[in-house]
Amino acid sequence: MILAEHTQCDGLLPSELGAWSSVVAAMPIPAALVTHLGVVLATNRWLSVEPGERLLRSAAADDKTTLRFGINRSRWRVRPVDSTGKFLLATQEREDAGDHLLRQFFSSGDSLFVVYDQAGLIVQSNAAWQKLLGYSSDQCFGLDSWSLLPESDVVSRPTVELALREHGRAETNFQMRTADGRYRQIRWALQFDASVGRCFGIGRDVTEEGKITAELERRAFHDPLTGLSNRSLFVDRLDEVLALGAAPSLLFCDLDRFKVVNDSLGHQAGDRLLSKLAERIATVDLGDDAVLARFGGDEFVVLLESGGVDRARQAAAQLVESLTEPFEVAGRSLHVTMSIGISSADLSPNQTAKGLLGDADTAVYEAKSRGRNGSVVYDDHLRSVAARRLDVEVDLRRALAEGCIEPHFQPIVSLSDGSIVGAEALVRWRTPERLIAPGEFLDVAEDAGLMPELGRCVISGAIQAAARLEHHHSDFTMSINVADSELKAPDFCEWIEDEVRSAGLHPSSFLIEITESSVLATDPALPTLAHLRASGFCIGLDDFGTGFSSLAHLRELPIDVVKVDRSFVADLVDDDVTFAVTESLVTLCGALGLDVILEGIETVAQAEAGERIGGTSAQGYLFHRPMSFADLFTLVSGTTPADDSVDRERHVDGVDDGTSSAS
């Protein structure tokens, strides 16, 4: 570049003249720094004009006006570089077709076009770039592009420049500051041409795409209801902590009886409670390294990266204490409690996320079995219990496949004369060594998802038993227990109706017993029960008084029979309050047209008290223990069944089934 010797011109300092001379030198087209009279002060290598020569006839412009002057066939674009308008930047514009098309492509469309020199100074930019960032064309010239980036992006400058030097190209995302101080995310494809010392950039605004991506990522790793981390993000963090060699602890938190809130107040109220709960426990000071997540439903998990089991116990106590105050939901003041299972890498050989979560989950079940509203640490004892549960599950699956699950039956009698009016089918697991009662395997079956298969096995056996007894007792009613998971099976109604029809029986010969917790589930239990009742089945509410039903439910539910739990029957003789309550219940059921069966009668005094309160039917050890079908057949018909290969044991030691009725 040639610099004019004369620089002492009013309005422009030598340092400023030097800065603009650098801009002129960097431009990829013929350019010059001139006075308002058109006298050349500085040029670049694209222009063969000596300093002091007159480039333009006359040039006058202010900071808001751009003038073009024609000399011969050239056109010049002129813009002021100082406040007086005495010094101008002149750039040549050629009018050949190629240049015209290039300028049109460069200036049109939504893509961002920028030309940089080797120092990162902007030499040229198009209207789209200027509009997006809010800078005028004059503000762009000579602007340091790196100055528009936040510090977090500037640190990548060496990487980008190295790629341009070695490969001539680079692709990157930058945040760029707009004129009003905001930032836009730009995706750039950069190309460096060493022959002219220029970097050409084509960019696209991806700010909105980034927002969408960030939102999708947030949704992928956060719970939409509470905003807490979800299982995926939590497990990722736990894996990272374990990979660092730390010994973290987990707190698996499960609300107690949350299902009651959903069933009584609706799922919207349940969601509101969960949201409020998350807000509250998030305020508990568990330490800076604590990570709180919601796994779904009413399950929350806390990760403590250090501190061992003692710190975990303290954190569990803090969480339980935080729930002392009630929650205001749906116009109700709700008191909730939480059971917490604790696992710690200090105590467990399971040094994986899956292993620690499984340990904590097992400890939650133990906490609930110990009365809820507290915490239990997973230790060697629980480890042996978990191993036993796994063994039971494996053996139970084999028993189902080999036909070792069978029904036994406890007769139901008339209180007035002791005659048999029906029987309740109870599940048994026969092994070569003994007959296993349901209390030893039903909870494992439920957790393993085996209840539908187990239930259908027992129900099918009960239906076949009822068919064989029909000729000997025309008014015999077979009671069969149906679990909540069975009721939710979409084909249950069709299946049981086909089974009964195939046996040549009418649905009225069967009493389908469900628990209070099942019948409170508004969907799909109630529609299923209503359908079964409309088909002719009788519906019974089992173990009444142990769940959460109110007396109002007896009028609203599609039921025909109420079975009063043995806990009431046991106190009929010695507790006047229990006697009065049970008597009132029987009277109410009679008024509603519901039959009543008293469960667990074991003494003559209890039977007599049951008659006094108006009970008509009962079952219990006073009358009959659970028995095999062969014994039931003999009891009802007075004869031995034709296929007497069936085990005829009347009672197996250790199998107590006064209340263990489950399909």
Query: Tens of pLDDT along 22-79?
Result: 788 877 778 888 887 778 888 887 777 777 777 766 555 443 334 444 444 466 778 8
Check residue 478 and give its pLDDT.
96
The number of CA neighbours under 13 Å toward the Cβ of 29 is 15
CATH 3.20.20.450 matches 390-637 = yes
Report the DSSP pairing between strands 617-619 and 405-414: antiparallel
Determine the pLDDT at residue 200. Answer: 85
CATH topology for the 14-95 domain: Beta-Lactamase (3.30.450)
Q: How far is CA 97 from CA 148, 284, 513, 603, 628, in A?
A: 35, 72, 90, 112, 102
Q: What are 397-449's pLDDT values in tens digits?
A: 999 999 999 999 999 999 988 899 999 999 999 998 888 888 888 888 888 88
**Segment among 122-126, 337-341, 586-590 with least mean pLDDT:** 122-126
Confidence tier at 659 by pLDDT (50, 70, 90): very low
The strand pairing partners of 39, in sequence order, are 54
Per-residue pLDDT at 129: 81
> What average pLDDT does range 487-499 have in this prediction?
91
Task: Read off the pLDDT of each residue in 153-162 and give the average, rounded to a whole number.
Answer: 77
**Mean pLDDT over residues 595-621, rounded?**
92
Q: Which residue has the higher pLDDT, 4 or 538?
A: 538
Predicted pLDDT of residue 124: 79
Class of domain 223-378: alpha beta
Does 14-95 match 100-209 in CATH topology?
yes
The domain segmentation of the chain, as residue ranges, is 14-95, 100-209, 223-378, 390-637
- The answer to whether residue 598 scores a pLDDT higher than 90 is yes
pLDDT in tens, 277-316: 999 999 999 988 899 999 888 899 999 998 888 999 999 9
What fold does the segment set 100-209 form as a domain?
A: Beta-Lactamase (3.30.450)
Which residue in 146, 147, 148, 19 sits closest to 89, CA to CA? Answer: 19
Alpha-helical runs (H) found in 67-221: 97-107, 127-133, 137-140, 151-154, 157-167, 207-221
User: Residues 363-387: pLDDT tens digits?
Assistant: 988 888 788 888 999 887 787 877 8
Query: What is the average per-residue pLDDT within 477-490?
Result: 88
pLDDT of residue 386: 75
| pLDDT value of residue 550 | 54
Q: How far does CA 638 lie from the centroid of its chain?
A: 59
The mean pLDDT value for 526-543 works out to: 89
CA atoms within 13 A on the CB side of 250: 37
Average pLDDT for the chain: 81
The HSE-up count of residue 156 (CA atoms within 13 Å, CB side) is: 13
